[in-house]
A and B are shown apart, each in its own frame.
Chain A
Amino acid sequence: SQTIHQWPATLVQPVGSPLSLECTVEGTSNPNLYWYRQAAGRGLQLLFYSVGIGQISSEVPQNLSASRPQDRQFILSSKKLLLSDSGFYLCAWSTDKFWGNTEAFFGQGTRLTVV
């Protein structure tokens, strides 16, 4: 069966420090991978998605970047965190890339607090 791992679960970082959140998927190959951010009162905002190694689509301009160095690994990064980067970050995967015939499966999330 497929599983998704996301770490760390919680993170407190000072303003201006770098960030690296990692997500890995097991039990499937060539998945679509997603990073979402859940901010209070704003629902789930899609930040990045990837259909394959090295292929990243950015949804909103921001202080964050994403990379996919391996098929089942998705990394969210920042060189210098801002207070506004605080939030709950969720990694997700799905098998379908174009036709929308599957749902997305979510990791446990990372609660990031920038102080």
Chain B
Amino acid sequence: AQSVSQHNHHVILSEAASLELGCNYSYGGTVNLFWYVQYPGQHLQLLLKYFSGDPLVKGIKGFEAEFIKSKFSFNLRKPSVQWSDTAEYFCAGWAFGRSSASKIIFGSGTRLSIRP
């Protein structure tokens, strides 16, 4: 991915609602994608990652993401959210350099607020 974008800046849901956070990437050859989560006052943690193989990726805490190549998307989903899912979520991907090392780039993040 040469760029990663997230269009949902702030999402507010009630407990038990289903979640889908959008992430789109621009094609840059090999596509390796991630979702990170940052709970209030904590450091960034990896939720899940896609390198190749099954496009439906399972992560921690009941999260999953689906890599859809035709849509350049890697949306994050959870069937039933909990209050403890309140956090900021970041989509990220590797941007590959043609003559230099590669680097991980992030989307702008989505703040998820869950109403108890």
Give A residues with C-beta under 8 Å from B: 32, 34, 36, 41-46, 49, 51, 57, 59, 90, 92, 94, 96-101, 103-104, 106-109
Known contacts A103-B49, A108-B43: does B106 contact A44 (CB below 8 Å)? yes
Contact B106 A43 (CB under 8 A): yes
A-B CB pair tally, cutoff 8 Å: 64
Known contacts A100-B32, A108-B43: does B101 contact A51 (CB below 8 Å)? yes
Chain B facing A: main interface SS:
loop
Q: Can you list 10 A-B pairs, Cβ within 8 angstroms, ordered by A?
A: A41-B9, A41-B108, A44-B106, A49-B101, A51-B101, A57-B100, A99-B102, A103-B49, A106-B43, A108-B43
Interface size on B, residues (CB 8 A): 26
Complex-state Cα separation, A101 to B96, whole angstroms: 11
Ranked 9 nearest A-B pairs via Cβ: A100-B94, A43-B108, A44-B106, A100-B32, A106-B44, A43-B109, A51-B101, A97-B101, A104-B104
List CB contacts (< 8 Å) of B17-38 with chain A. Answer: 30, 32, 34, 36
Q: Which residues of B contact A43 (CB under 8 A)?
A: 6, 90, 106-109
Give B residues with C-beta under 8 Å from A: 6, 9, 30, 32, 34, 36, 43-44, 46, 49, 51, 90, 92, 94, 96-97, 100-109
